[in-house]
Structure 1
Amino acid sequence: MKKKYNLFKNASYALQGILTLLKERAFQLELLFIIPLLALLFFLDLSALQKSIMAASLIFILITEALNTAVEYTVDLVTDEWHEFAKRAKDTASAAVFFSLVQAAVIWGINLFLS
C-alpha cells in the first residue's frame, strides 16, 4: 500500500529540522555571518545575477552544514565508540562545509573585487 503524501506533515518535519539546526553552535556562527551578508546584498551596486549567485553561495553553506549535522547525528546514533570509518564520515562531511565556505569566499571575492 502506497503512503499518502502529506505536505503539512512534511513541512513540520522540515521545521523541526530547522529548529534542531538553530541549536547547533556551528550553524549559529554561520548565521551570524550569513544574515548580515545577505542584507548587504541589497546595498551593493551589482547586477541581479551577481547578487543571486552570491546569495546562493551563502545558502549553500547552510545546506552543507545541515547535511554535515545529519551525518554527525547518524554516526553518533550508530556508534558511541571511536571507529576509523565514523571519523572518516564526520571528517568528510565537515570537508563539504569547508569547501562550501571556500566557494562562497571565491564567489564574493570575484564579484566584489573584480567587478
Structure 2
Amino acid sequence: MIMDLKDNKRIYTYSETFKFALEGIRVSILKEKNIRFHLLFSVIVIVLAIIFNLTQTEWLFILIAIAGMIVVEMINTAIERVVDLVTDQYHPLAGQAKDIAAGAVLIYAIFSVIIGMIIFIPKILMFL
C-alpha cells in the first residue's frame, strides 16, 4: 500500500518557514544576475524618488513596480530551476514553460519602465 504523502510530511514552524524564505531571497541575490540588476536599478530609482520628493501615491506606484519586478523575476527563476530539475533533455513544453515565465518578466519590466517614465519625466523636465 502506498503511503499518502500527507501522512509523512513534516509541519514546519513559522520561524522555520521564514528562514526558508530568507534563504530563497539570499540564493536569488547570490546566484541570479538578473535579480542583482533589478536591485541595482531599484536603488537608483529610490535615490531619484528621494531627490525628486515623490508624493505618497507616486511612492506607492514605484514600490509596487520594484517589489513586483523582483517577485516576478524570482518566480521566473524558480520555474527555470524546476524545469531544469525535471528534465535535462530539451522538450518543447519545458522550453515553453521557461519562455512564458521570461515573457511575464519582460511584460512586467516594460510596464515598470512606463510607470517610472510617467512619474519621473515631468519632474526631470521641471528640474531642467
Asked whether the two chains share a fold, i.e. TM above 0.5, the reply is yes
The more displaced of 12-21 and 40-49 is 40-49
List alignment gaps of at least 5 residues for structure 2.
1-6, 124-128
Alignment counterpart, residue 61 of structure 2, candidates 39, 53, 59: 53
Q: Report whether the alignment pairs 1:8 with 2:15.
A: yes
Q: Report whether the alignment pairs 1:79 with 2:90.
A: no
Give CA deviations for 1:13-63 in whole Å, capped at 9, x if unaligned: 001101110121111122121122123212213311111111210111100
The DSSP-based 3-state class of the residue aligned with 1:81 is coil
TM-score, L = length of structure 1? 0.90
The aligned length equals: 115
Structure 1 residue ranges (4+ consecutive) displaced by more than 3 angstroms after TM superposition: 1-5
Name the CA distance, whole Å, in 2 between partners of 1:28 and 1:46: 24
Name the CA distance, whole Å, in 2 between partners of 1:54 and 1:25: 22
Once the two structures are aligned, what percentage of the paired residues are identical? 30
Q: In the alignment, what sits opposite 2:3?
A: none
Deviation at 1:109, TM superposition (A): 1.1
Q: Report whether the alignment pairs 1:67 with 2:75.
A: yes
TM-score, L = length of structure 2? 0.81
List alignment gaps of at least 5 residues for structure 1.
none
Name the CA distance, whole Å, in 1 between partners of 2:46 and 2:99: 28
Q: In the alignment, what sits opposite 2:28?
A: 21
* Bigger RCO (CA 8 Å, 6+ sep): 1
Name the CA distance, whole Å, in 1 between partners of 2:52 and 2:59: 8
